[in-house]
Amino acid sequence: MIVTLNWLKEFIDISIDYPVLAEKFNLMSAEVSRLEHFVNAHGLVIGEVKTCEKHPDAAKLHLCQVDVGDKTLQIICGAPNVMSQQKVIVALEGAELPNGFTIKATKIRGVFSYGMICSLDELGIDHKYHQEDGIHVLSSEAPVGEDPLKYLALDDVIMELDLTPNRADLMSHLGVAFDLHALAGGEMHLPDIQVSEISEKNPINVFTETNGCPSYYARVVKNVSVRESPQWIKSRLIACGIRPINNVVDISNYVMLELGQPLHLFDYEKIDSKQIVVRQAKKGEKLVTLDQKERKLIEEDLVITNGKRAIALAGVMGGKDTEVSLNTTMVLIESATFDPIRIRKTSKRLDLRSESSIRFERGLDPNRTKMAIDRAAMMLESICGGETLKGVNFFDTHLLKDREVFLSLDKLSHMTGRHYLAEEVNMVFEKLNFKFNESDGIYRVHVPSRRPDIRTDQDLVEEIVRIHGYRNIPTTFPKTMTVGKLSQSQIQKRALKEILLSQGLDETITYSLVSENDATLFDFDSKPIIKVLNPLTEDRMVLRHSLLPSLIRVLSYNLARKCDDIRIFEMGSGYFTDGEKPLLAALVSATNSSSHWQHPSEKVNFFTLKGLVEAVLAQLAISHVRFERLETTKALFHPGISAAIIVEEKRIGYVGRLHPELEHSHSLNETYVFELDLSQILDRNIPKKTMALISKYPAISRDLALLVDQKHSAQSLIEAIREKASPNLREVKVFDVYTDDKLGQEKKSIAFNLVFQNEAKTLETEEVDKEIDQILDHLSESVQASIRKV
Amino acid sequence: MIQQLEAILEEAKAKIRQASDLNELGDLKALYLGKKSAFSAAMQDMRMMSESERPLFGQRINAIKAELSTLLEQAKTQIEKAVIEQKLQSEAVDITLPGKPIRLGATHLVTQIIEEIENLFVGMGYTIEEGPEVELDKYNFEMLNLPKDHPARDMQDSFYITEETLLRTHTSPVQVRAMLANHNQRPFKIICPGKVYRNDDEDKTHSHQFSQIEALVVDENTSLSDLKGTLLLLARTLFGEERQIRMRPSFFPFTEPSVEVDISCHRCNGAGCSLCKGTGWIEILGAGMVNNAVLSMAGYDPEKYQGFAFGVGVERVAILRHAVDDIRQFFVNDMRFNRQFR
């Protein structure tokens, strides 16, 4: 909503500087997003073109002698429409124009020019509002030597308000004036509206067949002559961002901006009936609206009809066939209120949001409906030469009484944390022009109909606090003691991130919405997707099941920018039809160009990522993890360098190298990833540890280098070692794996370090030797292992 | 005889002085103090001397031997010292060469700010509540006093999944869920961080996905002044101790009164600059007292309880505090960006 200062001044005396006023409004009423001169120009004067000749040396330029009151200036003008005897806007030497342009005396093709004749565009008035080409020609009565901005009613200050939906009352100059009065004082002048009705009776009868139209007022004005509006109306409409059309249409917009009530004006003779009936549209009913589009209506839409057919889409747009045209002489003024929800639905469905529909949606002052129709009739009389027929025909089901809202001083203090005195509260209500009475600290407040947003004591609290000033609210803290802490899963999520950060992985945050392909690429179970009905783009249409496709995209992005040292992780949700799952995914690029003079960068492989997974699971106190070969038909992982991660017989994630084909198609180097579904494991209870005794007796360490078939996994060999071992065997570690043709085909050497220890005694060498022999016997039996001779 | 020995002593002294390594010194020791040394021979010869000469001679030889022994000891210490000295010198490194890089990952800037705010509020007795991002219209809007077709729904364009479910547009539904779960109406203080989604065209300041932290306090005596004090502390924690805040009237259907909160500009300290567009103030968050209608719908008696709530956009805080030029940077994950905030 844009308001102009001069317009406001018709309703309220303003004695303070407008920047101060705007700041007060900003702090007490609503956000002021723009405050500026309507036309920000200096050094303009009305001039009269005395002579206009061709420039001696330029075919398209004119050499003009322009009387600017105290002197005559030679000005070169390029506009094709300049002629002698015209009154024009002259920018004098030194003048500043809104585009930052300063006028200087200049020589153009050998001839001096001492100023500029201006177009409206050059005054900063957008072309869409006037559609004039060339210079602006003033009326012949324009006073030479005077200020053209004042003459054109452009000498105004505009204030753009960023309004919230509750303050429908501020969508009019009168409404803003009421609030200005509350916050800055100044005497108010309510509009004096007088209609001079003639004796001929208003022939229109109005009816409703719907509950969607609580009130409808109709007046008829005849003998109007449709033409351009006077300049002051046009200037004010333009200042408020509305394009002038003709005097009749402009009046309806003017009244809306002034009083907040949208109006619609019909060409009376085209209505073709003596009645107006408001009803719901019929299924399949059609109406060609003012914009010449045929609209298919549904039953929820409200229409204005002539008793037979729809002539307007109520509150949204008029019908084409009853539009006011240059030939119109008799108009019907409609001033009505409609069900906000239906107006909202219709305007949204047809994509026809307008200044009118927004006002209907947000709610009108039912006491302005009659006021506005009279104001419009009055202006049609004075500006279009119209004559108003006798009587307003209407129906009105609004209760036109003030709403009563109660507020106790105690509640006010309790809610605000500030002790307000009765005098302070009285003062606010007086400033707001709210009638009230108070007894025993209880206020009974009569809220005027212009403030439909005030319904509860909380609403009154807001009025008092804002007008008295938010700056007067003290600063305190909540008094009740509560315990603040992170939940188990929140603590664990932070701990997991710390582990990955400590290992040099950077955290990423990527979009939850991805393309359909990315959403399910790493979903091995192909679970059903969740799709957005109204996506921004196809790339952001589906909620992801896995974070990995996003991490791969981050890698590609960075590789393309020569940044190849990529180790990243993300913690975020996977979205499934049965709920959201917390996921943790990581990606590490194996080759990178980062180098140090002494320490070559560590080679990344499957076991780097497996180590990360093990560290993460250890943090979550999960000791029994199995890594199983991945059985899948999807070519996502390298079949030999990947594993499913199994905890308690459930697959909770994957780790491995990306499939070389996938790496290739995304132009990636060797890349390793893992992803874990944390949903079952994040908030498990971790028992507090109790100390285990540290044995006083020495441990004995033995190394075993075994020669076995390739097919035996390290895991199975460790299990085989443990199978026949006594409790003295404390630890089995793999310390070397080696393959060579010399060992024999399909053979490998794998070396284990075994640690033996007893709580109660020092182990004898012979004892351990015996146990080793037993283990070896068992190994040679079960996996045909032999001791490798080094 | 004695002069001869004195000469040998002088010769020995000179040689010890010149000795440059421990081997040489060992040789000298053997030469002058060993069994075959001139001094040992002289001791043998002493037997031939007269009784009167003998003690004097013996004393002198012992003194010479002691002197040489001391000298040898000193020379040895010196050489050892020199050897160590030399060794240390040879081991010297170019201390200006770079150290072994310890690679630490960078926490995403948005996470850093979320954790910073979480830590502040946990310290003040708040717990952290989380909730689903795919949310029911009922919790995202209706129970927040935003019935269907309310004009205020325009303030938050949504991504719908079905007519009744959508991607949450704010983390307020978590507050509703927390209140509903809190059947026994005990006072509580929570913050709700999380991802939210708006169906807005994207530009430097708008992203369809961003993070928000909302706070809710419900108690018998929670007041607007408590909100103001809490927000002042938050502003100072995030933007420095000198910050001031101001409240301006605003509107959210779920709070009444509703306010926009500005902080005094942290770049110009309120004097006016390009960041604050010359006003000295920067809009940072929305807040208010919980609307009675919201309390009632969530099962709280508004006659007994009142509450405050606020919501802050995490990326906005990051943009303002760290001079980030485009909100989309947070989601691109250009590592040259992410790693700046390690």
pLDDT single digits (tens) A664-701: 999 998 999 999 999 988 888 888 989 988 889 999 99
pLDDT digits (tens, 9 = 90+) for A262-302: 999 999 999 999 999 999 999 999 999 999 999 999 999 99
Q: Are residues B85 and B115 both part of a single domain?
A: no
Q: Out of A414, A477, A558, whose CB is closest to B229?
A: A477
Q: Collapsing DSSP states into helix, strand and coil, what is residue B210?
A: strand
Tell me which residue of B302, B291, B309, B294 sits closest to B226, measured CA to CA.
B309
Q: Which residues of A touch B292 (CB under 8 A)?
A: 456, 458
Q: Are residues A762 and A726 both part of a single domain?
A: yes
Q: Is B128 within 8 Å of A558 when comparing Cβ atoms? A: no
The reply to whether A54 falls in a domain is yes
Q: Is A165 within 8 Å of B151 when comparing Cβ atoms? A: yes
Q: Which residues of B touch A534 (CB under 8 A)?
A: 159-160, 199
Interface probe for B, chosen from A473, A531, A561, A577 (most Cβ of B below 10 Å), is A473
Q: Are residues B223 and B191 both part of a single domain?
A: yes
Q: Out of B189, B233, B251, whose CB is closest to A166?
A: B251
Q: Is A476 within 8 Å of B333 when comparing Cβ atoms? A: no
Domain enclosing residue B154, as ranges? 109-339
Q: Out of A475, A501, A540, whose CB is closest to B104?
A: A501
Query: For chain A, what is the largest distance between any 2 Cα atoms, rounded to a whole number of angstroms?
Result: 131
Q: How far is B84 from chain A (nearest CA, A)?
A: 26
Q: Are residues A211 and A331 both part of a single domain?
A: yes
Q: Are residues B58 and B124 both part of a single domain?
A: no
The reply to whether B100 falls in a domain is no
pLDDT digits (tens, 9 = 90+) for A591-625: 776 777 887 777 899 999 999 999 999 999 998 89
Q: Which amino acid is at B31?
A: L
Give the pair of three-digit tokens for residue B103. 């690679």
| Domain termination site, one of B26, B56, B90 | B90
CA-CA distance, A509 to B336, in Å (whole number)? 15
The reply to whether A479 falls in a domain is no
Q: Which residues of A touch B223 (CB under 8 A)?
A: 414-417, 476
Q: Is A554 within 8 Å of B333 when comparing Cβ atoms? A: yes
The reply to whether A625 falls in a domain is yes
| Average pLDDT of the residues in B60-67 | 86
Q: Which residues of B touch A558 (CB under 8 A)?
A: 333-335
Q: Are residues A362 and A294 both part of a single domain?
A: yes
CA-CA distance, B281 to B314, in Å (whole number)? 18
Q: How many CB pairs under 8 A join A and B?
A: 247
Q: Are residues B20 and B169 both part of a single domain?
A: no
pLDDT digits (tens, 9 = 90+) for A34-89: 999 999 999 999 999 999 999 888 888 999 999 999 999 999 998 999 999 999 99
Q: Are residues B168 and B297 both part of a single domain?
A: yes
CB A551 within 8 A of CB A587: yes
∠B250-B252-B255 over CA atoms, to 5°? 100
| Average pLDDT of the residues in A12-18 | 93
The reply to whether A97 falls in a domain is yes
The reply to whether B73 falls in a domain is yes
For chain A, give the mean pLDDT.
Answer: 93
CA-CA distance, A673 to A608, in Å (whole number)? 10
Q: Which residues of B touch A511 (CB under 8 A)?
A: 208-209, 331
| Average pLDDT of the residues in B325-338 | 96
| Domain termination site, one of B33, B60, B90 | B90
Q: Are residues A451 and A335 both part of a single domain?
A: no
pLDDT digits (tens, 9 = 90+) for A140-154: 999 999 999 999 999
Q: Are residues B238 and B303 both part of a single domain?
A: yes
CA-CA distance, B341 to B329, in Å (whole number)? 13
Q: Are residues A33 and A53 both part of a single domain?
A: no
The reply to whether B294 falls in a domain is yes
Q: Tell me what pLDDT residue B184 has.
A: 58
Q: Are residues A458 and A540 both part of a single domain?
A: no
| Cβ of residue B83 closer than 8 Å to a chain A Cβ | no
Q: Are residues A343 and A412 both part of a single domain?
A: no
Q: With a CB-CB cutoff of 8 Å, which residues 253-312 of chain B face chain A?
A: 256-260, 289, 291-292, 306
Q: Are residues A549 and A583 both part of a single domain?
A: yes
Pair type for strands B188-197 and B127-128:
parallel
Q: How far is A537 from chain B (nearest CA, A)?
A: 10
Q: Are residues A20 and A77 both part of a single domain?
A: no
The reply to whether B103 falls in a domain is no
pLDDT digits (tens, 9 = 90+) for B1-22: 778 888 888 888 888 888 888 8
Q: Tell me what pLDDT residue A786 has.
A: 85
| Domain termination site, one of B90, B125, B153 | B90
Is the confidence at residue B228, as pLDDT, over 80? yes
The reply to whether B97 falls in a domain is no
Provide ipTM, 2 decimals. Answer: 0.90
Q: Are residues B85 and B151 both part of a single domain?
A: no
Q: Are residues A338 and A218 both part of a single domain?
A: yes
Q: How far apart are the first and last CA of chain B?
A: 84
Q: Are residues A104 and A201 both part of a single domain?
A: no
Q: How far is B170 from chain A (nearest CA, A)?
A: 15
**CATH code (residue A266):** 3.50.40.10
Q: Are residues B39 and B130 both part of a single domain?
A: no
Domain enclosing residue A627, as ranges? 488-680
Q: Is B256 within 8 Å of A344 when comparing Cβ atoms? A: no
State the total domains in chain A: 6
Q: Are residues B155 and B248 both part of a single domain?
A: yes
Q: Which residues of B touch A598 (CB under 8 A)?
A: 97, 100
User: Which of A128-132, B237-241, B277-281 has the largest mean confidence?
Assistant: B237-241
Going by the DSSP 8-state scheme, the letter that residue B340 receives in this structure is G
State the total domains in chain B: 2
Q: Cα separations (Å) of A424 from A27, A29, A82, A506, B118?
A: 18, 18, 62, 57, 39
Q: Out of A415, A482, A596, whose CB is closest to B188?
A: A482
Shortest CA distance from A513: residue in chain B: B209
The reply to whether A482 falls in a domain is no
| Average pLDDT of the residues in B30-43 | 82
Q: Tell me what pLDDT residue B34 has.
A: 84
**CATH code (residue A419):** 3.30.56.10
**CATH code (residue A104):** 2.40.50.140
Lowest mean pLDDT across A542-551, A587-596, B71-80: A587-596
The reply to whether B98 falls in a domain is no
CB proximity list for A309: less than 8 A, separation 6 or greater? none
CA-CA distance, A305 to A594, in Å (whole number)? 77
Q: Collapsing DSSP states into helix, strand and coil, what is residue A641?
A: strand
Is the confidence at residue B258, as pLDDT, over 70? yes
Q: Out of A28, A502, A543, whose CB is closest to B104?
A: A502
CA-CA distance, A155 to A147, in Å (whole number)? 9
The reply to whether A686 falls in a domain is no
Task: Kindly state the percentage of chain A with pLDDT values over 90.
Answer: 85
The reply to whether B179 falls in a domain is yes
Q: Tell me what pLDDT residue A790 has.
A: 47
Is the confidence at residue A717, as pLDDT, over 80? yes
Question: Which helix H or strand E contains A201, and what residues bound it?
Answer: strand A197-201
Shortest CA distance from A560: residue in chain B: B334
Q: Which residues of B touch A504 (CB under 8 A)?
A: 103-105
**CATH code (residue B193):** 3.30.930.10
Q: Are residues A580 and A493 both part of a single domain?
A: yes
Q: Tell me what pLDDT residue A99 has.
A: 85
Q: Which residues of B touch A472 (CB under 8 A)?
A: none
Q: Is A509 within 8 Å of B331 when comparing Cβ atoms? A: yes
| Domain termination site, one of A680, A715, A731 | A680
Q: Which residues of B touch A530 (CB under 8 A)?
A: 134, 161
Q: How far is A287 from chain B (nearest CA, A)?
A: 24
Interface probe for B, chosen from A477, A563, A584 (most Cβ of B below 10 Å), is A477
The reply to whether A90 falls in a domain is yes
Task: Kindly state the percentage of chain A with pLDDT values over 70.
Answer: 99
Q: Are residues B85 and B224 both part of a single domain?
A: no
Is the confidence at residue A26, as pLDDT, over 70? yes
| Cβ of residue B120 closer than 8 Å to a chain A Cβ | no
Pair type for strands A331-337 and A215-222:
antiparallel
